[in-house]
Amino acid sequence: MTQNFGKVGVLFGGRSAEREVSLMSGSGVLKALKSKGIDAHPFDPAERSLAELAAEKFDRVFIALHGRYGEDGTLQGVLEQLGIPYTGSGVMASSIGMDKVMTKRIWLSHSLPTPRFAVLDSKAATPEELRAVPDELGLPLMLKAPHEGSTIGISKVTGYSEMKEGFVHCAKYDDVVLAEEFITGRELTVPVLGAGRTARALPIVEIRAPQGNYDYQNKYFSDDTQYLCPAPLDEGLTKRIQSLAVRAYNALGSSGWARVDFMLRATDNEPFLLEINTSPGMTGHSLVPMSAKAAGVSYEDLCVEILRSADLDLAQSENWKPV
């Protein structure tokens, strides 16, 4: 019953490199919740203070922020202190999920498949270390700023001569650069809803971008990128990938909702986990609403389901009291 949600804040915008995308996501969520009769209000942390957030007396909030200061556990910690239930993962899972290196290390500890990788210091990596990476991982390879999203701070390296330029580009965004084995194949993504044993995977989306380049422009603004949902995979492989998505989600302690990205290797149809997005996009080009629609769930109903899952990490503590 939507009337039981009380006063709802939709947090979007923010001050990360993904602000533009977040503004689009939050506007869509706000409109959807209002269309369902929910008392929803916009709140942009880049334009208003945390004191104002506390003063709003929201009964719960929908986090439509992407990237740093919204998806990385920092805001989740603030909401825990204020006693305001929020959508998505808690402090620890949000923080880990925002760090591609830590995410991969945890997945490997759970024997989950992810491309081989190396970590380079953005300020101290030597030319010798840069040259050694292609020898270790092969070419082509990917360089990534591990705390960014929306393909920001990412570079594909096809030869030794491109390593320095790609590294310098990614190093502008982060203290370390993640070098990752390039998996040639099909790009897939799987939304997951719920938590623990109740977590469930939605239909798989296959992404076919022009020239295989799913960059910022092709992700959010181009109509040339093709999306196939459900992805044309046989039933056994579909179930295997969905199961891997749920296992990867639970390995990090994720809750509420998220989206898990894969590469499906062309040579043998082996899936490899790339990253998890604990506050995925909700724009007109976004993949979670697309997958939900294939499962018979409208954008508006998806927003309500996510909002209904809003919680606090400490909600079950006997000693917890809201501020």
Active site residues: 18, 150, 220, 259, 261, 275, 277, 281
In the chain, the largest separation of any two C-alpha atoms, in whole Å, equals 62
User: For residue 107, what are the contacts with CB-CB under 8 A and spacing of at least 6?
Assistant: 113, 114, 248, 251, 273
Separation CA 215–CA 199 (nearest Å): 29
Q: What number of H helices and E strands is found in the chain? A: 11, 13
User: For residue 161, what are the contacts with CB-CB under 8 A and spacing of at least 6?
Assistant: none
Dihedral angle over CA of 144, 178, 276, 31, nearest 10: -30
Q: Is 85 helix (H, G, I), strand (E, B) or coil?
A: coil
Residues in the chain: 323
Q: Is 249 helix (H, G, I), strand (E, B) or coil?
A: helix
**Quick count: other Cβ atoms within 10 Å of Cβ 43?**
20
